[in-house]
Chains A and B, each alone.
Chain A
Amino acid sequence: MKNLNNDYLNKFCSHIYIERAITAHPRTQKILAHFPHATVVTIDHYKDVFCRSRQSYPLQHGSQNLILAEKKGTLLYEGAPVCQSFGNQYFYYTSCMMNCIYDCEYCYLKGMYPSANLVIFVNLEDYFHEVEQMLKQHPLYLCVSYDSDLLALEQTVGYVKEWCDFVQTHENLKLEIRTKCASTGMVGQLAQTKDVILALTMSPQKVITSFEHHTPSLDARIAFTLKLLEAGCAVRLCFDPMIYLPGWETYYGQMIDQIFMHIDVNKLIDVSVGTFRISQDYLKKMRKQSPDCAVAWFPFQNENGYYHYPESLMEQMESFLTNRLAEQLPKEKIFRWTDN
């Protein structure tokens, strides 16, 4: 956000809200230890803070606080229609964390959540239990990093490691960990198995600089991909969402050149391509909260409650990138998003 004097705002996680019932939980204590100077506020239920009315997402993001809670009720959800299933029949996602430390202008979380504060659910065992129940019925392809970027908070929370350990002892379970993080120091901690797919979002540097605030650069993401591949991890590159901006063809073309130059793309398990799309309700909220956000104010086309770029532009952008990728990748490895 422009013109906000950040000197007036509290630092990241200056306050931590903790549900009374999980104050003594070992994960609560472990996370708290990372923030020795934070002020702790005890609450009854995370929604008492997270779901207050009239919150300002952009302002809160400038001074994000943490809420530690216990998630009750449903823990696994069927994949949403706007998400890519990669041909998996039993495609589910789960949210053991809500919100993200990064600040992508186009992020649907801005339209989905009433608050920008981070929520971490400490009862990971309950998630594991629900996964085990589901595995008794059928195999599972589970995305664990949709409503957050788990890897970006790994040093503090350690959930990626816990999920990786869980996968190693469970058959028929495949995880996708979506991230923009590029911390090469973490590579050793990640599972080197085909059942944990590290899905790195790739964007042209111009898009990163303009819209993906506080995220690693394209160079850093490429370097991270290389390290992961070297370590034997299963890596997917996600060119999704592609964001329109004047000169997009040049920027996306340069990005592909750069990737081809450094990465042997045939070592990737696959890639995904898709232009930006979002539910109309989320976009409405995003526009209200961020009147100056160009990505959100694009004159989209509305189709059955979802906004996307005009058909011709969408086709142009996705075909361009798919064709460029097809120069070095077999077609079966390129997943282009479709809504049917």
Chain B
Amino acid sequence: MYNVYRIREDFPILKTTINGKPLIYLDNSATTQKPAVVIDTICEYYKQYNANIHRSVHYLGVKATEIYEKVRGDIAKFINAPNSNCIVFTKGATESINLVAYGWGRKFLKEGDEILITLMEHHSNIVPWQMLSIEKGIKIKFVPLNDDGSLNLTAFKELLTERTKLVSITHVSNVLGIINPIKEIIDTSHKAGAIVLIDGAQSVPSIPIDVQNLDADFLVFSAHKMLGPTGIGILYGKEDLLEEMDPLLGGGDMIKKVTKDYSVWADIPYKFEGGTQNIAGVIGFGKAIEYLNNLGLEHIYKHEKTLVSYTLKRLLNIDGIKIYGPTTENLRLNIISFNYKDIHPHDVATILDREGIAIRAGHQCAQPLHSYLGISASCRASFYLYNTEEEVDKFIEALEKVNMVFKNGNRRTI
């Protein structure tokens, strides 16, 4: 039985008050809170077995290395990767995408090649490709959206040509909450001869993912959006792709042999992990994965769906709320972006903050999507496994307060 009140007990921060009000944290797409077990595990590492990995033969070094490598295996299982060699530790989804852009793209893409992304991408899945395109003369094409914000699959198929070498696409939009049909996208892309990178930053925390069943070529995600610490993320890649990719960082730990004239790189995944790694981050992430496994992702997913459909229903009853993306919950995960009358999102967020409610306001690192929607900013409420319907009720009440502060008025600019 999924008991959200019991789960909340595991999160120390949920007991804090903000401006004298209990914290209601609805900014989970930016980063999630951490359960005590994750925080304690990180402290334990520093207090009891802090040592560098892969380098020392002493007890502490061996223990730290063992746990670090065990986490790699746990993460491989979590996404059903064929083995742990396919799991590269990075500092986050952003670095993972950059690693593919430079390690793979720089090596294999040529002038005239095309990369297909979508209008709903996070900046981290746009900017690295733009940087690469300046260097390599490749072309970036954006798949447009349908009126409800969903991906225009007809246009996608038209844009996919023999020049397309890579399709890089988010599984779940961090603004619209839309779940993209990635299985279909991967199959179609493969038939056209392109490989596919899935940005799982928003989906891996809530949707069970099987990279082998999907036949994904790359999958990237960040620990901090799934109960883990900041500064740690994953690049999953098919073994043959990782094998042929170049590393980004040269240095210690990523080599087999160094001479004055040349070096031989280590095997995957180590050749991508130059320098001392974020050991505490990896160990903390391992605990987060264990916590998620204990709850069961399918239960978390169901919980979020229930909250989103409840919130949508309540929001749609408020006069002047404009919701972006589909208003039925079946296409959505845990995210709702909206605007309230012509009140600027920053004013909404400031007033909610006085009520102890944390939401996101701004362009949410998705400016091309916001321009497409014809707005410069939006408000975003996003849920995770510890949010409750009572919190949604408070959030809705607080929106009424926003309206009161603004006295129901609109702007007149004549």
A and B, one complex? no
